[in-house]
């Protein structure tokens, strides 16, 4: 090229070219003869970037990654796609695909298109980098959540966090996979044990294995769900038949079928008794049951009574009561019908007998008090209590020099409104202590507010004084056993029109002979029938009489009967009899006009000395209470 330029100069007639001129125009030369000059003839696109190599010039074929810019493009020979990063394959570059300018280190990567756009070297179908492809983006993928690296097939599962960490496809709130969610971890869960797939709501439950398999929430040792555990299957259970919810220690004994021991006390004709109240007594005199419109009362006289506040009263007449709708519950309250003495009086005693009459707003109670401290006197006292006003009135009649016990007291209100009170003293001489009064005299507040009082000495040895209205509106009667006169059963007619001693008349009539009576009870039924029942210790039998006709005795075996009480089941036309015996046991029997129908044992744990029975509203249940010296027990019976 230099020779051509020189020849040209010579032919042009120039005879000399200076070095300076040569250098100034050297870029116009094409030394390698490839047709491109160093200055490109003024066109930058035609500049020969290497005029010593005819294979290097604009438009020449570029061989990438040989370190030569063959086409004089001025680009990096190790960055074919021109994305600014050299090829990983051909140099120490970072571009994993040097044919695509959108692929380079840290380029934006669109996941799941099969292209590693950012040259991170990872699986484009494993966004969270946990080593498993997305199950939703590939057919062979196993990662159920490809944006959480802790969630993948086979990962450790943390139950109840709402995340299916191991991609098992199961409910995170159903660990045992039984199809029900855990009760403990969800609002709507039904599975009570979510680590055992045999336990869930509605599963088959095998009783007595200690597992609530059906998640019913019941006691696995209480199959009949009556609140009592099976006595057979557990050491502490007391349900004698765990397949029948009507049979348990808290059930009422149903005497219509004595083949079933409903109350689990050992026999179908044995009735369990209890006392759960904190109320307590000492030296109990006697007990009676009575009812009003909505209450059942238990009247007790005792030397001492302690209430629920631990307050003790002395020489007391008191009546805890139950609502008729909750007879097997604790007493709902207590009414005091005598004076409430908080200090014990030396030498004062309560007699065995007492009597009581309950009205909806009034309680009339009669008790005997014997004082022996300074001088001996036996008082027979009648109390009237108006519950709505807490007003109390009383009348007392005393006999000086007498300390014999009044074993029983009879009390009645006759058709004219007079109150007849008779106390029975069965000493060798025998005494009736009689008082006649009415509400008008109790209202006057005067000393000795009674119409008449009288003592009848030597008349009899009266046991079991029971005063009651006679049938068909005839005069009231006092029934008693005369153990001073060949053990006869007698009754005295009381003059309900009496107003003073001149008009009082008590006539005594002998009716039956040949008995040794320990106690007696009498009532007139809702159909005006007169019933009398008595215990006969001479022949060990219960004698029952309707309208003075004996229906046939009930033998008590080798054990003499003692205290007795009588109640009417007007619904079924039956009489119910409850009695104690000489070894302090307790019993009941039932009868109708044909005689005795059946009997049962009261399974009491105390020494029963007195007994009372009541049938509320003449209906479906009977309440029976027994008392010992300082203990009380009760039961409620389902009548047959």
Q: Are 564 and 558 in contact (CB under 8 A)?
A: no
pLDDT value of residue 23? 61
Whether residue 486 is predicted with pLDDT greater than 80 in this model: the reply is no
pLDDT value of residue 181? 95
pLDDT value of residue 332? 94
pLDDT value of residue 69? 83
What one-character DSSP code corresponds to residue 182? B
Domains of the chain: 1-77 (no CATH), 271-638 (2.130.10.10)
What is the H or E stretch that residue 440 is in? Answer: helix 439-443
> Which residue, among 115, 74, 124, has the nearest Cα to 96 in the 3D structure?
115
Cα 456 from Cα 561, distance rounded (Å): 28
Whether residue 495 is predicted with pLDDT greater than 90 in this model: the reply is no
Tell me the pLDDT band of 466, cut-offs 50, 70 and 90: confident
Cα 330 from Cα 325, distance rounded (Å): 12
Q: Under DSSP, is residue 19 helix (H, G, I), strand (E, B) or coil?
A: helix
Q: What is the DSSP string of 341-358?
A: B-SPPTTEEEEEEEEEEE
pLDDT value of residue 508? 57
Instruction: Bin 112: left if φ > 0, else alpha if -120 < ψ < 50, else beta.
Output: left
| 535-544 per-position pLDDT tens digit | 888 889 998 9
**Mean pLDDT within 497-518:** 61
Whether residue 9 is predicted with pLDDT greater than 50 in this model: the reply is no
> Which residue, among 29, 621, 604, has the nearest Cα to 266 in the 3D structure?
604
In DSSP terms, 633 is beta-bridged to: 626
Q: Kindly state the percentage of the chain with pLDDT values over 90.
A: 48
Q: What is the DSSP string of 262-329?
A: TT-SS-TTEEE-B---S-EEEEEEEEEEEE-SSEEEEEEEEEEEE-TT--EEEEEEEEEEEEGGGTTS
> Which residue, among 377, 381, 379, has the nearest Cα to 401 in the 3D structure?
377
**Higher-confidence position of 301 and 511:** 301
The residue length of the chain stands at 640
Q: Under DSSP, is residue 473 helix (H, G, I), strand (E, B) or coil?
A: helix
Whether residue 490 is predicted with pLDDT greater than 80 in this model: the reply is no
pLDDT value of residue 627? 97
**Mean pLDDT within 193-201:** 95
**Mean pLDDT within 229-249:** 90
- Which tokens go with 611? 């007994």
| 541-574 per-position pLDDT tens digit | 998 989 878 888 999 999 999 999 999 999 999 9
What one-character DSSP code corresponds to residue 539? T
Q: How far is CA 115 from CA 95, 99, 464, in A?
A: 13, 13, 113
> Which residue, among 328, 339, 338, 335, has the nearest Cα to 277 in the 3D structure?
328
| 83-133 per-position pLDDT tens digit | 999 888 888 899 999 899 999 999 998 999 999 899 988 999 999 999 999
Tell me the pLDDT band of 457, cut-offs 50, 70 and 90: low
> Which residue, among 608, 604, 624, has the nearest Cα to 616 in the 3D structure?
624
The widest CA-to-CA distance across the chain, in whole angstroms, is: 195
CA torsion angle 404 405 410 411 (round to 10): 90
Q: Are 82 and 104 in contact (CB under 8 A)?
A: no
| 284-304 per-position pLDDT tens digit | 999 999 999 999 999 999 999
Residues 6+ apart with CB under 8 A from 298: 287, 288, 289, 319, 320, 321, 331, 612, 625, 632, 634
| 153-174 per-position pLDDT tens digit | 999 999 999 999 999 999 999 9
Tokens 């040209």 map to which residue?
8
Whether residue 441 is predicted with pLDDT greater than 60 in this model: the reply is yes
CA dihedral sign of residues 269, 270, 276, 282: positive
Whether residue 1 is predicted with pLDDT greater than 50 in this model: the reply is no
**Mean pLDDT within 185-197:** 94
pLDDT value of residue 504? 55
Cα 94 from Cα 4, distance rounded (Å): 49
Q: Supply the mean pLDDT for the chain.
A: 85
Whether residue 473 is predicted with pLDDT greater than 90 in this model: the reply is no
What one-character DSSP code corresponds to residue 612? E
Whether residue 411 is predicted with pLDDT greater than 60 in this model: the reply is yes
Cα 460 from Cα 119, distance rounded (Å): 126
Whether residue 376 is predicted with pLDDT greater than 70 in this model: the reply is yes
Whether residue 588 is predicted with pLDDT greater than 90 in this model: the reply is yes
Cα 420 from Cα 437, distance rounded (Å): 7
pLDDT value of residue 267? 79
- Give the best-scoring range by mean pLDDT among 4-8, 189-193, 472-476, 507-511: 189-193
In DSSP terms, 589 is beta-bridged to: 577, 599
pLDDT value of residue 500? 61
């Amino acid at each position: 090229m230099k020779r051509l330029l020189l020849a040209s100069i010579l032919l042009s007639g120039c005879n000399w070219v200076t070095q300076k001129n040569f250098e100034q125009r050297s870029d116009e030369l094409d030394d390698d003869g490839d047709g491109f000059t160093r200055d490109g003839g003024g066109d930058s696109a035609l500049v020969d970037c290497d005029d010593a190599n005819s294979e290097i010039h604009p438009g020449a074929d570029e061989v990438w990654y040989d370190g030569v810019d063959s086409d004089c493009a001025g680009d990096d020979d190790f960055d074919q796609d021109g994305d600014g990063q050299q090829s990983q394959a051909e140099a120490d570059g970072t571009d994993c695909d040097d044919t695509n300018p959108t692929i380079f280190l840290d380029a934006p990567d669109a996941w799941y298109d099969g292209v590693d756009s950012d040259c991170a070297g990872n699986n484009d179908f494993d966004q969270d980098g946990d080593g498993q492809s997305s199950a939703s983006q590939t057919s062979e993928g196993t990662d159920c959540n490809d944006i959480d690296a802790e969630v993948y097939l086979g990962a450790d599962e943390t139950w109840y966090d709402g995340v299916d960490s191991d991609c098992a496809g199961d409910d995170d709130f159903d660990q045992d996979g039984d199809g029900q969610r855990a009760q403990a971890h969800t609002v709507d869960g039904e599975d009570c044990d979510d680590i055992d797939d045999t336990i869930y709501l509605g599963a088959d439950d095998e009783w007595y294995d200690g597992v609530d398999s059906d998640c019913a929430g019941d006691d696995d040792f209480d199959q009949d769900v009556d609140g009592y555990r099976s006595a057979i299957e557990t050491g502490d259970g007391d349900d004698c038949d765990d397949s029948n919810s009507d049979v348990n220690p808290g059930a009422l004994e149903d005497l219509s079928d004595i083949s079933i021991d409903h109350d689990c006390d050992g026999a179908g004709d044995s009735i369990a008794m209890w006392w759960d109240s904190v109320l307590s007594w000492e030296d109990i005199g006697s007990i009676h049951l009575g009812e009003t419109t909505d209450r059942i009362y238990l009247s007790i006289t005792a030397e001492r009574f302690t209430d629920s506040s631990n307050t003790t009263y002395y020489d007391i007449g008191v009546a805890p009561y139950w609502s008729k709708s909750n007879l097997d519950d604790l007493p709902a309250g207590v009414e005091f019908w005598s004076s409430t003495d908080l200090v014990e009086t030396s030498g004062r005693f309560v007699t065995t007998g007492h009597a009581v009459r309950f009205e909806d707003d009034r309680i009339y109670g009669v008790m005997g008090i014997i004082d022996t401290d300074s001088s001996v006197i036996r008082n027979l006292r009648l109390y009237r209590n108006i519950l709505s006003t807490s007003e109390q009135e009383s009348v007392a009649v005393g006999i000086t020099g007498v300390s014999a016990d009044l074993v029983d007291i009879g009390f009645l209100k006759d058709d004219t409104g007079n109150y007849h009170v008779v106390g029975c003293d069965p000493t060798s001489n025998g005494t009736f202590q009689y008082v006649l009064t009415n509400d008008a005299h109790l209202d006057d507040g005067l000393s000795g507010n009674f119409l008449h009082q009288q003592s009848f000495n030597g008349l009899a040895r009266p046991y079991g004084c029971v005063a009651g209205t006679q049938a068909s509106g005839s005069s009231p009667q006092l029934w008693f056993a005369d153990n001073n006169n060949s053990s006869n059963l007698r009754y005295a007619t009381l003059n309900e029109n009496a107003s003073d001693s001149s008009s009082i008349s008590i006539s005594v009539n002998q009716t039956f002979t040949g008995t040794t009576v320990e106690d007696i009870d009498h009532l007139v039924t809702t159909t005006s029938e007169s019933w009398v029942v008595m215990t006969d210790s001479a022949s060990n039998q219960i004698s029952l009489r309707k309208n003075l006709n004996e229906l046939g005795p009930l033998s008590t075996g080798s054990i003499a009967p003692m205290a007795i009480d009588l109640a009417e089941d007007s619904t079924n036309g039956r009489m119910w009899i409850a009695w104690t015996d000489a070894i302090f046991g307790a019993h009941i029997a039932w009868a109708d006009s044909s005689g005795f129908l059946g009997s049962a044992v009261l399974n009491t744990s105390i020494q029963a000395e007195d007994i009372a029975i009541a049938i509320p509203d003449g209906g479906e249940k009977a309440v029976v209470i027994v008392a010992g010296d300082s203990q009380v027990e009760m039961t409620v019976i389902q009548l047959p």
